[in-house]
Homo-oligomer: A and B are copies of this chain.
């Protein structure tokens, strides 16, 4: 038995300065939700705002709501709220499109700023869609660009030659939770003459981010994970103010035009970050994201990080003590400073173990080939939840319930 017991953890919850935020979410009974890194849960305010958007703004306001309800400003309004969470300068973030589409835009803009360089450096373990977007862009370009993938963050220095146009990395790795030192990597990239593009999918709302302080050039991120904007919520794009004048992106839809309602047949890019918009924004989805972002105005990011580290440390310690000898291997950095807000463990039966956990209401997720992935979201995850999740995990591993035929019969119908 560890020194951590359930009573001690419940006492930490009672003293938690962030505890009050849990009540801002709709969380189903009987569920311990450790998958907010894949889909954040429903904030109560979103349910109300979306209903009002549908019934009043769309239903009654109709076309007039583009102005009267401020729909037209949602991409910059939501973007402004996000910028506060990622250390971005004012008017440097828009909420728009998907993370993949936004990555295409900032990649194209970055490559155009470094026309004589043909290499994009990234990690083989990056979230695949980021790498796929590079493939799609560079194939379209047809100018001999190359994607140089490093196997390990320590290999970055030797990958940074004079041929590198951009270093494109996900700040916190989706599988392991490994967190890059954004300032140091950006500095290395700049010293090699390359631009730094950061994917903040697993960072925004999860860990403190300081894009401006790090000198980042471009960034993208996701609205539906730690930002709780709803399934498939609009993503965001960041462009450092120093690049906004020169940066051009190729998806030049009418929302990136200087005067979209003049309906001129020639394109003229608008000024500033709105240049990274494209078509008409999805108002229902954007309204949900914008409402979810309001939660953050009262969140102290230092307190959030402190609790995040405490939750993940606690989980690692409990799993390694209570599940010792049961086949789990830590697949996340042990050092808290190198870890985002998630913890992964490898297990040879990872898939059925996660199915068994989910059947008991402990929702994490599985990433092939063998990873059990658990997200710890300080706004609504309690220390007691960590205890209870480990209790289920330990019981599942000790009983090997997934080996029993009746487990599979039940799994097949859920």
Contact = CB atoms under 8 A, between A and B. Distances in A.
Contact of A284 (B97, B99, B284, B365): B284
A183 to B, nearest CB: 26
Given A97-B98, A132-B257, A250-B136, A288 B279 contact: no
A35 interface: yes
A108 B41 contact: no
Contact of A231 (B71, B230, B248): B71
A2 B358 CA distance: 70
Chain A interface bracket (under 10, 10 to 19, 20 to 34, 35 or more): 35 or more
A65 B132 contact: no
A282 B280 contact: no
A303 interface: no
Contact of A60 (B28, B59, B141): B28
Contacts of A62: 28, 31, 33, 35, 39, 41, 363
A302 interface: no
B139 A278 contact: no
Interface string A20-61: 000000101001010100110110001100110011011110
A233 B58 CA distance: 12
Interface in A51-97: 51, 54-55, 57-60, 62-66, 71, 97
Given A41-B58, A135-B266, 10 more contacts: A38-B63, A47-B55, A97-B98, A100-B251, A108-B140, A124-B265, A131-B267, A140-B250, A282-B282, A284-B288
